[in-house]
Amino acid sequence: MAKDPTAHSLPPDSPSTDSQAPDFLSTHLLNPRPRRQLSLYLFGATCVGLSIFATRRALVRRYIDTVPHFFQQSNAPPREAISLRKEAAEALKIATINVLSFATMVIGGTLWAFDVSGTDELRERVRRMKKQRQVKGGTNVEQDKAVEREFEEFLGPSLKKGPRKEESQKSQNRGDPQ
């Protein structure tokens, strides 16, 4: 019998590829934690898409309302009076939807990138970072006051607060009431 050169066979000591799942699928996509993290980002992306659709629909509807009908004079005003309050409310609604959907997508992507899956975990990480900062040296009160004074001296002339502070400090040193 002749062997078919197109037939592929695995060596007897190699495992079957059907029983092995790729590492990425088994460790990342099938794990519920990354799916939960990614779901907020995907929800935000879906909301961005829907808000873009709603925005385009409102703009097209507004444009169609301004185009004159076939037998209408082109220099005549639109049939319906334009309500500025209604237009402003619709613009505010659309802008709010756009901003909130984009913010949801950004927050979801950030949480996914930093491997945070909930508010409890985020709170715990912030507490841990604060403790690490305190262990490394913490905050020096004198150093903070020096930085504040330097900042006030820098912005004092532009904010016109520098001379008042100096006068109040002089009056406190003399014991004069303000």
Q: What is the DSSP string of 150-176?
A: HHHHHHHHHHT-HHHHHHHHHHHHHT-
- Provide DSSP, 54-114: HHHHHHHHHHHHHSPPTTS-TTSPPSSPP-HHHHHHHHHHHHHHHHHHHHHHHHHHHHHHT
Quick: pLDDT tens for 7-16.
Answer: 555 555 545 5
Q: How many CB atoms lie within 10 A of CB 162?
A: 15
Give the model's confidence band at 162: pLDDT under 50 very low, under 70 low, under 90 confident, else very high.
very low
Q: Give the pLDDT confidence score for residue 106 in this predicted structure.
A: 93
Residue 137 burial class via C-beta count within 10 angstroms: exposed 0-12, middle 13-18, buried 19 and up: exposed
Distance CA(48)–CA(99), nearest Å, equals 9
Whether 156 shows a pLDDT value over 70: the answer reads yes
Quick: pLDDT tens for 68-120.
Answer: 777 777 777 766 777 889 989 999 999 999 999 999 999 988 888 888 887 88
> What is the residue type of 54?
A
Q: Give the pLDDT confidence score for residue 140 in this predicted structure.
A: 67
Give the distance between the most distant pair of CA atoms in the chain: 116
Q: Give the pLDDT confidence score for residue 91 in this predicted structure.
A: 93
Q: How many CB atoms lie within 10 A of CB 44?
A: 20
Give the model's confidence band at 38: pLDDT under 50 very low, under 70 low, under 90 confident, else very high.
confident
